[in-house]
Amino acid sequence: MTLRAHRVWDRTQRIFHWINFLAVLGLAAIGTLILNADRLGIPDDPGMILLKQTHVFVGYVFVLNLLWRVVWAFVGSPFARWRALLPGGRGYGRRLGEFVRGVISGKAPFYMGHNPLARVVLSLIVLLLLVQAGTGLVLAGTDVFMPPFGGSVRTWVAGETHDPAQVRPYAPETVNPEAWADMRAFRGPIVEIHELNFFVLLVLIAVHIAAAIYTEFREGGTVISAMFTGIKWHSDEPVDGKAAAGPVDHTPVEAAGIDER
C-alpha cells in the first residue's frame, strides 16, 4: 500500500485549533470551579472575584481567536473557508449518505477536508462557540464589570444615587438596590443560556474528539497528526480534492499549492 501526502490545514487553522483547545479547556476548568465555589468553600472576595476575572481574561483570548477564525473562513486557504466547513451544496445529501454507509461498512471514503458528517458537528460547535463568546462578554460586564460592557453596567447599577466609579463586584453598598435588581433580572436568562450552552458544547466536543480518534485508528494516523503538520497521509484518492481546492489538491506535499499562512 502506497501512502500519499495531502497538504490540508494551513498554519493559521492549526494555530487557531490549539489556541481554541487550550482556551476552552481553561475556561471549562475555571467555570467548573466557579459553579462549585460554595461547595469548595471559595470566598466571594477575593476568591470568586479573582476566579471570575481570570475566566474573563482567558475568555478574551478565546473570543479574539474565534473572531480571527471567522475572518479566516472568508480569506484563508481552500479547506479553511466556509464552503469547506458548512454542510450543504450540490450533492451534499448524497455524499452524506454515502459516507454514513461507508462508516457502517468500515469503508468510508477519504476526504482531505472535513467529511460530510463532520461538517454538521463542527458547524454546530462553531455556532455554540459564538453563543458562548457573546453571552460570556455580557456576563463579564454584568458580574465583574469588565469590558466591553462593564462601564455601561456600572452606570446602570449605580442609578441616580451612587457614583459609577465606585461600583465594585460583590459590594452591595456601592450600587442602587433597584437598579441592581433590574440588572440581575436582565442577566438571569443569559446566565442560563451560557451554562446550558457550555454543557451542550462539551458533549459535541467529546463527539468530535471521539470521531477524530476513531478516524485516526481507521486511517492509520492522519487526522490528529494533521492538526500539527497540516498534512494527511492516505493511500486513497480524496473524494473532495478537485471540488474543494482546485487542481493541486492531491499532489504530493512538495508540489502542493496551499498557502501556508
* 185-210 tens-digit pLDDT: 999 999 999 999 999 999 999 999 99
CA proximity to 128, closest of 79, 186, 62:
62
Rounded-to-integer distance, Cα 223 and Cα 230, Å: 9
Q: What is the pTM of this model?
A: 0.88
pLDDT of 196 reads 96
Per-residue pLDDT band at 219 (split at 50, 70, 90): low
pLDDT of 197 reads 97
Rounded-to-integer distance, Cα 190 and Cα 221, Å: 41
What is the pLDDT averaged over residues 96-116?
90
What is the pLDDT averaged over residues 70-78?
95
The average confidence (pLDDT) of the chain is 89
pLDDT of 1 reads 62
Rounded-to-integer distance, Cα 192 and Cα 182, Å: 17
Q: Which residue has the higher pLDDT, 217 or 31?
A: 31
Alpha helices in the chain (DSSP H): 11-35, 37-40, 49-75, 92-105, 116-143, 150-158, 177-219, 223-229, 241-245
pLDDT at 80 over 60: yes
What is the pLDDT averaged over residues 199-224?
86
Per-residue pLDDT band at 48 (split at 50, 70, 90): very high
pLDDT at 243 over 60: no
pLDDT at 120 over 80: yes
